[in-house]
């Protein structure tokens, strides 16, 4: 039997009390009051102390050694006893990314400290904003980050002097005895953690060390705390033990073994045969016998009653599991936000924080606990399968990083709703700076910069990665301005979600009316050339200060921006298409170049549109001036065959070049 309890009771000459020295290598079959005092939800579960009850929302539990430690000869004395303790614990959250709680090693004058709260208070501390001096001292092994308590991270240890806010903290890990380097230790994945606490009452010093099982006690402690204030939190006799609590999120906190001595070094725990806790790999099956009976019954019922039961059950289970996190979700993405986190960041998705509701869903502004501003995009989808495929794609996009792309920070799924978290762009989208508010009108210089930025971002998507990433929905509304008023492309790849799972005969064209390349109406497979087309429309929009389709225009010719610009071009006075409000700001040659670039990008024939590399060369590089000349010359000259090969869905003309209006080959550069 591994159940070893040794209790030395030695009359002390210094203090007229008992010395304490015990080793629980397993808690065996102890009962409440003999080996441990178990408070509230704490209980013994196969020889291991389990501190919480999963089915109670605000569960907490404590386990104490029944004999109090004599900490000092009298309440007014500052001669404090030293002790050393070592224990093995395991913290196993049901959902790896859920906000964790952890547990505390505690020294307390009362088994039930007054005002103790569950949830993030370890079932030990109060929420009093001004903590009082009381005999309560704890070492927290915290697996959640509570910014309101100044927690540094979600995996740390701390010294708590009757206060949930730690007086000192350190990230969980240990200093390697062989090379001295810090090795982080994850305390929230269920692995068995060996902890050592050396309490030095003479020097008012507490050393805490954690390491995984198998690592012998490192010589340098993880946390070294040394303050005479310790004396204020110690009473003459104190209970010693553990405490933990939880809220909605299930987390199993277990103590597997424990030794303590107040006369010397705590005895060593034999860690060889300790049980190991991990989540069952298949969530639908639980403990063997019960599962067997359940399956047996189900099979019996299926055979006896009818086949529809199976279907019903399957559907029913599927329904129940809807909001549970599935294995595939955890494989993706560096950061998976919890729904609570995002809900908190956006004040419960309040209307006040709504930034807009575009084609793919609503976008909220949010603030993370560390004051980072984010934009949360809520995308709905009717099929989880579609979401799954999309996630695989979009998670690879998380790796895309470019100064001209809106950086994605993470994601969260709830049912069929996907929440995508992006950097917040304080200056909104480009279209508002060109159409909406005349007082916020963007000058030509800045427009030029933004166009160049976006071209670089799109060039990166097309050519900067091992595979071509299509944007599929380029428009001024998807171009965002950061704090420096530089352009960033948002929403890349999102359009793809809406092409999946479609019936083949009804392939839906995704994108925005007015920006869609004409070939999409017939061929329907988007290409990098169709992205270039949309970008061409953006160029014209920005240069002309007109929407791609002007609903207020009197004739169709005037309504479609491309046709309108081509009209001017055909008459040899292309610059008259430019935005009149910024007339003083641009040079005619430059404006001409930009407008022509826009037209070339919108060439009806996808083959004749430039690549984004070439577009960047025109917009960014002065030294590359030869390129635009050739590019525009070749494309604009050619055989001059600009048939209008189809309208956009919705009946708007995608292009209306006619042979009698050839582009001029010579360029004003
Ligand atoms: C264990 O005993 C203590 C008193 O010694 C009592 O307060 C506590 O409620 C008991 N716990 C359980 C789980 O019965
Ligand atoms: C947890 O609490 C529920 C109700 O509060 C109780 O029915 C159940 O027995 C408890 N479970 C354990 C393992 O103590
Ligand atoms: C401890 O000190 C307090 C005041 O600081 C005093 O009232 C009390 O009598 C002292 N107790 C002992 C046992 O000396
Ligand atoms: C505290 O310890 C010192 C020596 O370590 C001793 O001289 C003193 O009498 C002790 N005080 C009490 C109150 O026990
Ligand atoms: C500690 O608890 C005992 C009763 O268990 C009480 O008499 C004593 O005053 C308490 N000490 C402090 C400092 O609260
Ligand atoms: C502390 O918690 C209690 C009970 O949950 C609550 O009524 C009280 O408002 C809280 N006080 C503060 C300062 O948060
Ligand atoms: C130091 O040793 C630990 C194991 O004790 C090892 O994991 C770590 O990589 C080593 N670090 C360096 C810098 O050698
Ligand atoms: C605590 O750690 C410090 C620094 O490593 C060491 O000097 C001190 O002796 C340690 N104290 C105890 C009680 O282990
Ligand atoms: C630890 O326990 C195992 C069996 O559980 C035993 O074989 C081994 O000898 C023990 N080690 C020590 C150092 O006592
Ligand atoms: C804020 O928190 C988020 C997520 O928790 C993290 O990605 C980001 O780096 C943090 N920002 C700062 C400035 O610490
Ligand atoms: C853009 O946003 C930043 C940060 O909010 C702000 O300081 C700046 O004034 C804005 N620029 C303009 C032109 O409004
Ligand atoms: C597409 O095919 C489905 C059958 O697979 C048919 O019911 C539907 O009418 C078709 N839709 C169109 C637009 O042809």
Residue 327 has pLDDT above 80, yes or no: no
Q: Which helix (H) or strand (E) holds 380?
A: strand 373-380
At 168, phi and psi to the nearest 5?
-155, 145
Which 3-state string (H, E, C) describes 577-595?
A: HCCHHHCCCCCHHHHHHHH
Ligand 10 mean position to 368 CA, how many Å? 8
What percent of the chain has a predicted confidence (pLDDT) above 70? 74
Burial of 245 (0-12, 13-18, 19+ CB in 10 A): buried
Average pLDDT on 561-586 reads: 90
Sign of CA dihedral 577, 579, 580, 583: negative
In the chain, where does the domain assigned CATH 1.10.510.10 lie? 426-669
Ligand 2 mean position to 588 CA, how many Å? 80
Nearest atom in ligand 2 to the alpha carbon of residue 45 is 13
Quick: pLDDT tens for 382-425.
666 666 666 666 665 666 778 899 888 888 878 778 888 899 99
In the chain, where does the domain assigned CATH 2.60.120.200 lie? 15-261
Sign of CA dihedral 148, 152, 157, 162: negative
Query: Bigger pLDDT: 351 or 63?
Result: 63
Protein residues whose CB sits closer than 6 Å to any atom of ligand 5:
75, 109, 135, 235
Quick: pLDDT tens for 608-636.
999 999 999 999 875 444 445 555 554 44
Nearest Cα to 566, choosing from 659, 647, 649? 659
- Can you state the angle between helices 612-620 and 626-636, rounded to 10 degrees? 130
Average pLDDT on 173-194 reads: 95
Protein residues whose CB sits closer than 6 Å to any atom of ligand 9:
2, 270, 272-273
The pLDDT value recorded for residue 199 is 97
Average pLDDT on 122-142 reads: 90
For 281, other C-beta atoms within 10 Å of its C-beta total 7
Q: Would you tell me which CATH number, out of the four given (3.40.50.1820, 1.10.510.10, 3.40.309.10, 3.30.413.10), belongs to the domain 426-669?
A: 1.10.510.10
In the chain, where does the domain assigned CATH 3.30.200.20 lie? 333-424
Protein residues whose CB sits closer than 6 Å to any atom of ligand 10:
368, 370, 372, 409
Report whether 128 contacts 115 (CB < 8 A).
yes
From atom 10 of ligand 3, which residue's Cα is the shortest distance away?
76
Ligand 3 mean position to 75 CA, how many Å? 8
Ligand 6 mean position to 61 CA, how many Å? 20
The pLDDT value recorded for residue 659 is 31
Instruction: State whether the beta carbon of 179 lies less than 6 angstroms from ligand 7.
Output: yes
The pLDDT value recorded for residue 142 is 95
Report the distance separating Cα 489 and Cα 480, nearest Å: 6
Domain spanning 15-261, CATH class? mainly beta
Kindly list the catalytic residues: 473
The DSSP letter of residue 405 is B
Residue 6 has pLDDT above 60, yes or no: no
End-to-end CA distance of the chain: 91
Average pLDDT on 326-334 reads: 51
Quick: pLDDT tens for 287-321.
555 555 556 655 555 554 565 555 555 554 444 43
Residue 95 gets the label, from left (phi > 0), alpha (psi -120 to 50) or beta, of: beta
Instruction: State whether the beta carbon of 73 lies less than 6 angstroms from ligand 4.
Output: yes
The pLDDT value recorded for residue 14 is 39
Ligand closest to 338 (CA) is 10
3-state secondary structure of 292: helix
Average pLDDT, the chain: 80
Domain spanning 333-424, CATH class? alpha beta
How many residues in total does the chain contain? 669
Instruction: State whether the beta carbon of 504 lies less than 6 angstroms from ligand 12.
Output: no
At 240, phi and psi to the nearest 5?
-125, 135
Report the distance separating Cα 305 and Cα 45, nearest Å: 38
Ligand closest to 61 (CA) is 1
Find the range with the poorest average confidence among 38-47, 276-285, 499-508, 560-569. 499-508
Ligand closest to 507 (CA) is 12
For 467, other C-beta atoms within 10 Å of its C-beta total 6
């Amino acid at each position: 039997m591994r159940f070893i309890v040794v209790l030395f009771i030695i009359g002390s000459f210094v203090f007229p009390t008992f010395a304490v020295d015990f080793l629980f290598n397993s808690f065996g079959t102890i009962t409440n009051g003999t080996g441990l005092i178990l408070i509230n939800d704490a209980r013994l579960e196969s020889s291991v102390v389990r501190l919480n009850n999963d089915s109670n929302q605000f569960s907490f539990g404590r386990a104490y050694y029944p004999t109090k430690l004599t900490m000092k000869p009298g309440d007014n004395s500052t001669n404090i006893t030293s002790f050393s303790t070592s224990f093995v614990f395991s913290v196993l959250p049901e959902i790896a990314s859920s906000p964790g709680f952890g547990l505390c090693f505690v020294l307390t004058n009362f088994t039930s400290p007054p005002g103790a709260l569950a949830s993030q208070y370890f079932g030990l501390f109060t929420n009093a904003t001004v903590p009082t001096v009381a005999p309560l001292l704890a070492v927290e092994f915290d697996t959640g980050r509570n910014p309101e308590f100044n927690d540094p991270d979600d995996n740390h240890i701390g010294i708590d002097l009757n206060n949930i806010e730690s007086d000192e903290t350190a990230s969980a890990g240990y200093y390697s005895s062989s090379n001295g380097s810090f090795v982080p230790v994850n305390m929230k994945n269920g692995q068995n953690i060996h902890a050592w606490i050396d309490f030095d009452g003479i020097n008012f010093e507490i050393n805490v060390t954690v390491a995984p099982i198998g690592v012998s006690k490192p010589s340098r402690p993880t946390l070294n705390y040394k303050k005479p204030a310790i004396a204020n939190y110690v009473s003459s006799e104190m209970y010693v033990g553990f405490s933990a609590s939880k809220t909605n999120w299930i987390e199993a906190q277990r103590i597997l073994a424990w030794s303590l001595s107040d006369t010397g070094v705590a005895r060593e725990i034999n860690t060889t045969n300790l049980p190991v806790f991990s989540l069952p790999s298949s969530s639908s099956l639980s403990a063997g016998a019960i599962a067997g009976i359940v399956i047996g019954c189900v099979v019996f019922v299926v055979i006896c009653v009818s086949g529809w039961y199976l279907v019903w059950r399957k559907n029913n289970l599927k329904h129940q599991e809807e909001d549970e996190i599935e294995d595939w979700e955890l494989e993706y993405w560096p950061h998976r936000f919890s729904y609570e986190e995002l809900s908190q960041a956006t004040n419960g998705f309040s209307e006040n924080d709504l930034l807009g509701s575009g084609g793919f869903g609503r976008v909220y502004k949010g603030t993370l606990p560390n004051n980072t501003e984010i934009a949360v995009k809520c995308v709905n989808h009717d099929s989880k399968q579609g979401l799954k495929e999309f996630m695989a794609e979009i998670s690879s996009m998380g790796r895309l990083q470019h100064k001209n792309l809106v950086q994605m920070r993470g994601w969260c799924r709830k049912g069929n709703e996907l929440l995508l978290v992006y950097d917040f762009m304080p200056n909104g989208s480009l279209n508002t700076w060109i159409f909406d508010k005349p007082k916020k009108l963007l000058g030509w210089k800045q427009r030029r910069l933004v166009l160049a930025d976006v071209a670089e971002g799109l060039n990166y998507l097309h050519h900067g990665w091992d595979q071509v990433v299509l944007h599929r929905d380029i428009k001024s509304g998807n171009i965002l301005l950061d704090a420096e008023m530089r352009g960033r492309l948002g929403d890349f790849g999102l359009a793809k979600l809406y092409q999946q799972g479609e019936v083949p005969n009804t392939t839906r064209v995704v994108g925005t009316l007015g920006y869609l390349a004409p070939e999409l109406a017939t061929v329907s497979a988007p290409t990098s050339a169709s992205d270039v087309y949309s970008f061409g429309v953006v160029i014209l929009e920005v240069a002309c200060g007109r929407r791609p389709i002007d609903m207020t225009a009197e004739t169709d010719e005037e309504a479609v921006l491309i046709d309108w610009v081509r009209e001017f071009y055909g008459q040899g006075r292309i610059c008259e298409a430019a935005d009149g409000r910024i007339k003083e700001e641009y040079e005619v040659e430059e404006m001409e170049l930009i407008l022509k670039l826009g037209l070339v990008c919108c060439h009806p024939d996808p083959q004749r549109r430039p690549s984004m590399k070439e577009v960047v060369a025109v917009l960014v590089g002065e030294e590359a001036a030869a390129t635009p000349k050739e590019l525009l010359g070749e494309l604009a000259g050619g055989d001059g065959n600009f048939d209008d090969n189809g309208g956009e869905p919705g009946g708007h003309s995608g292009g209306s070049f006619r042979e009698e209006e050839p582009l001029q080959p010579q360029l004003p550069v």
